[in-house]
Chains A and B, each alone.
Chain A
Amino acid sequence: MFEIRVHGRGGQGVVTATEMLSVAAFEEGRHAQAFPSFGSERTGAPVVAFCRISDREIRLREPIMKPDALIIQDPTLLHQIDVFAGLKSDGYVLLNSRHSLEELGLSELITHFDATRFCTLSATDLGLKHIGRPIPNMPLIAGFAALSGLIQLESVILAINEKFKGKVAQGNIAAATEAYNLVKDMMCTPFASSPLKGENHA
């Protein structure tokens, strides 16, 4: 089982991000479960949503406390809540920011993790460029696909086409594709194998 936690603020499409991740994983024949943190969400307030992906039926209903991956949609959350809480030592982190991890003051933190699995992506700019709105969620999902190798870009595009139509779908696909390629280029080491491989499933 691979567990993803998405942090963001109300209005940034945090819940939608996990739902789309789950649809992309489903398109690849996997079991997936996406659910929000069930707050009474308001625009701008911190929001958390979760996604589990597995090759078996997912029965577990607890919140994700030890994530395999974090997607952080708003870097200002770093000063407000402990977004890294419970992150596994070999966990992936994709952070929406124009700045590098060093510039964000995360150099010390990274030493406790596998630095090659940490990445920043200017996802809000990609949203503005391709969709015309500062919505970072689709570029981040595609960036996560590139970073983790867990899902394919094609599955993200399928999920986008299922959710959106016409120009909105086209814009999201363009943003996702650019994000995917940017992250692939940034990665020092390509991850050939999926993180789910090695699980012993019937």
Chain B
Amino acid sequence: MLKQTEGSKAVAEAIALCRPEVICAYPISPQTHIVEALGEMVKAGNLTPCEFINVESEFAAMSVAIGASAAGARSYTATASQGLLFMVEAVYNAAGLGLPIVMTVANRAIGAPINIWNDHSDSLSQRDSGWMQLFAETNQEAVDLHIQAFRLAEELSMPIMVCMDGFILTHAFERIDIPEQNQVDSYLPPFDPRQVLDPAEPVSIGAMVGPEAFMEVKYLAHAKQMQAIERIPVLAAEFKQIFGRDSGGLIRTYCSEDAETMVIAMGSVLGTIKDTVDEMRAEGHKIGVLGIISYRPFPLEQVRAALSSCKRFVVLEKSLAVGMGGIVATDVRMAVTGSGLKGYTAIAGLGGRPITRATLHKLFLQAEQELLPPVTFVDLDWEAVNKQLTREQQTRRSGPAAENMLHDKGLISAKFG
């Protein structure tokens, strides 16, 4: 049913339609509205059989999800930012054990400095955890990806993060088509676990594995993700048959046929990029877009094919590999190895800095003229940065950098004391 609703509420409804049996979560902005809505549904008896387990931390949330999944229950949790970091040890365990948990990550920056706003640092920090990561462009896609995620996770017996931009999507009201229960039931069969803790047929899960077999078990995780590359487009096509819309898949292109310059990004910023590309197309610029939906597994071949006829590309990413440059850009460059394409990295929107059409327009024109440096920090206030760097050169006790920056930018009127 078509509704005007909040992204978080819509995702909660989608999760409920997937008939989870255990939901365990610890609240953290901007994920809170999702788990609050699910908690209300369970308490009101509108989601049965399902147990909502209040836990004392994110580490406990993932640990409970592991236990529940190993006991054969369809398990769901959600988190963001510091919450994801706090559960990291269990995050790796869920993947290593091959448990098909679905987790929403309401993408948010990582501190310090503490910041509640959106970027992709949190889930990208778990790049190598063994979890698959799917990025939603809109709230409709966030809803749809969760339904596809349970199907994919359980088919492969591997966990998946569905990533949606914190606040920008989670707190936005927009038009969303909430699927019907019978549609979801026909798409998503009941959970049939590969391994289950059953007193009638006892097994142990989580054995210690020495050098003689460790690599093989780890390789299996990689093999599963390679299988996912094959399965994700198939599951998106089946989704379209039942639900009637394109959602998910590995990648999505826009205006790419004759594009000489391609812009690559993940998540909700693709909307602003498409509007900018429309403006530039109207001015005669041959520019197109490549959206990456599946960050892990990373669709190397599909990305290479999508860029095969362009002359240059810009990866615009809400993440930073400190000491190196881009995170997504590294993967894209790997995909086009040997092609001779010119590639640029643009780091933008960290900690919730707005990414505007005006800024993108300027950036893409520079890319088209091949005037960009290899790595651009979009809309960075160089004056403020240089002032702090100079201060550090001149004074040994230059003080805390974040507080100095706020002071220099006039955001704090006076120092204490």
- Give me the interface of A with B, judged by CB distance under 8 Å: 18-19, 22-23, 25-27, 31-36, 38, 40, 58-63, 65
B172 CB contacts on chain A under 8 angstroms: 33-35
- The answer to whether B272 and A59 touch across the interface, beta carbons within 8 angstroms, is yes
Q: How many B residues are at the interface, by size bracket? A: 20 to 34
Given A31-B175, A32-B173, A59-B274, A65:B356 Cβ within 8 A: yes
B117 CB contacts on chain A under 8 angstroms: 38
CA distance A19 to B3 in the complex (A): 12
- The answer to whether A60 and B167 touch across the interface, beta carbons within 8 angstroms, is no
A23 CB contacts on chain B under 8 angstroms: 4, 173
CA distance A62 to B356 in the complex (A): 5
A17 CB to nearest B CB, Å = 11
Output the nearest chain A residue to B30 by Cβ-Cβ distance.
A38
- The answer to whether B268 and A35 touch across the interface, beta carbons within 8 angstroms, is no
B350 CB to nearest A CB, Å = 14
A-B contact pairs, 22 of them (CB 8 A): A19-B6, A19-B173, A22-B4, A22-B174, A23-B4, A26-B4, A31-B175, A33-B173, A33-B174, A35-B167, A35-B171, A38-B118, A38-B171, A40-B116, A59-B138, A59-B275, A60-B271, A60-B357, A61-B168, A62-B357, A63-B354, A63-B356
Given A59-B272, A62-B272, A38:B173 Cβ within 8 A: no
Please report which residues of chain B, range 358-397, place their CB below 8 angstroms from some CB of chain A when the two chains form the complex.
Answer: none
Q: Is B355 part of the contact surface with A, judged by Cβ < 8 Å?
A: yes
B29 CB contacts on chain A under 8 angstroms: 40
Q: Is B352 part of the contact surface with A, judged by Cβ < 8 Å?
A: yes
| SS of A interface (majority) | mixed
Output the nearest chain A residue to B278 by Cβ-Cβ distance.
A59
- The answer to whether B271 and A61 touch across the interface, beta carbons within 8 angstroms, is yes
Q: Is B269 part of the contact surface with A, judged by Cβ < 8 Å?
A: yes
Q: Give which listed residue, A32, A36, A59, contacts B4 with CB less than 8 A.
A: A32
B30 CB contacts on chain A under 8 angstroms: 38
- The answer to whether A32 and B354 touch across the interface, beta carbons within 8 angstroms, is no
- The answer to whether A61 and B268 touch across the interface, beta carbons within 8 angstroms, is yes
Output the nearest chain B residue to A19 by Cβ-Cβ distance.
B173
Output the nearest chain B residue to A162 by Cβ-Cβ distance.
B4
CA distance A62 to B275 in the complex (A): 11
A22 CB contacts on chain B under 8 angstroms: 4, 173-174
B356 CB contacts on chain A under 8 angstroms: 62-63, 65
Output the nearest chain B residue to A15 by Cβ-Cβ distance.
B171
B171 CB contacts on chain A under 8 angstroms: 35-36, 38
Q: Give which listed residue, A19, A38, A60, A63, contacts B275 with CB less than 8 A.
A: A60
CA distance A122 to B211 in the complex (A): 75
CA distance A180 to B275 in the complex (A): 35
Output the nearest chain B residue to A26 by Cβ-Cβ distance.
B4
- The answer to whether B174 and A32 touch across the interface, beta carbons within 8 angstroms, is yes
